[in-house]
Amino acid sequence: MSKLALVTGATSGIGKAFAERLAADGYDLIIVGRNKDRLEEFAATHTDAKVRTVAADLSTDIGVDTVAEICAGEPLTMLVNNAGVAHYMPLAELPADKARELVHVKVVAPTMLTRAAVAGMQERGEGKIINVAGMIAFSGPADKSVMPRRAVYAGSLAHLVAMSQTLSAELEDTGVQVQVLCPGVVATEFHTRQGLDMSVVPRMSAEDVVTAGLRGLELGEVVCAPGVEDTGLLDAVFQADLAAFGGQSPELASRYRAN
């Protein structure tokens, strides 16, 4: 049986690198993006694989519903939720339409596409879901010196981390793997589109991010951080999360009681 992967945001950067790697690995592809010309160009230059193109805007309900229907109806072996926008900006200055676009692309779309795909994967007893987030998901405790401002963006990536971890536990022993892929700064068009010059910042290649993600699946990693050498740092974060979660009580904490 052929392997079938659906990749969102497949026209550039990490998404395109995933599509290229998966095509080389023998997958048939459904590639999703806003730019129809780029999608068709990819299909025309990757004739060794069966490539279906879907032009859809995941910042809209129609776009999400269109792709979710495909996820529910096709026997996907892998789903890569990669589409993204940044809109780095202080929350008070972030235009409402851009805030809505960001939440739709990085929260609503991956949630609904995963929901659509996971039932079929469970029934077939196999499947892999990769949600592309970033190390900014862990930047919440940073003080005001950290730039640029990006509260909504950081929050959307943190959603992907928590959702992926919780879903992975839900799907234990079903044959379905879930991973959240958290690279640092990557050499793609992503920051250029936001008007940010990252040329002097050391950056990982999109191809290395894909290598980490696929190898991370083999290693059984739920949270894959391609640039973090010491995985004990991640373990410490997760253990602290669980310690705080387990430390709650129905009694009011003493610091909140009147003296």
- Which ranges in the chain belong to alpha helices (H)? 13-24, 36-45, 61-73, 96-103, 109-124, 151-170, 206-219, 231-246
Residue 259 confidence (pLDDT): 76
Instruction: Residue count of the chain, please give it.
Output: 259
CA distance 73 to 75: 7
Catalytic residue status for 88 = no
Helix (H), strand (E) at residue 37: helix 36-45
Catalytic residue among 27, 88, 153, 256: 153
**Mean pLDDT on 38-67:** 97
User: Contact at 8 Å (CB) between 128 and 221?
Assistant: no
CA distance 63 to 56: 5
CA distance 162 to 201: 28
Q: How confident is the model at residue 201 (pLDDT cuts 50, 70, 90)?
A: low
Strand partners, 186: 204
Residue 203 confidence (pLDDT): 75
Other C-beta atoms within 10 Å of 21: how many? 18
Residue whose tokens read 């004990």: 232
**All structural domains of the chain with their residue ranges:** 4-232
Closest CA to 128 of 165, 64, 178, 164: 178
**Architecture of the domain spanning 4-232:** 3-Layer(aba) Sandwich (3.40)
**Each residue's pLDDT tens digit, 23-46:** 999 999 999 999 999 999 999 999
Above 70 in pLDDT, residue 194? no
User: Contact at 8 Å (CB) between 78 and 129?
Assistant: yes
User: Contact at 8 Å (CB) between 15 and 7?
Assistant: yes
**Each residue's pLDDT tens digit, 65-102:** 999 999 999 999 999 999 999 888 999 999 999 999 99
pTM of the shown model: 0.93
Say whether the peptide bond before residue 148 is cis (omega within 30 degrees of 0): yes
Closest CA to 112 of 158, 39, 53, 61: 61
Residue 196 confidence (pLDDT): 60
Strand partners, 132: 181
Cα→Cα distances 38→17, 60, 101, 117, 167, Å: 14, 20, 21, 25, 33
Residue 99 confidence (pLDDT): 96
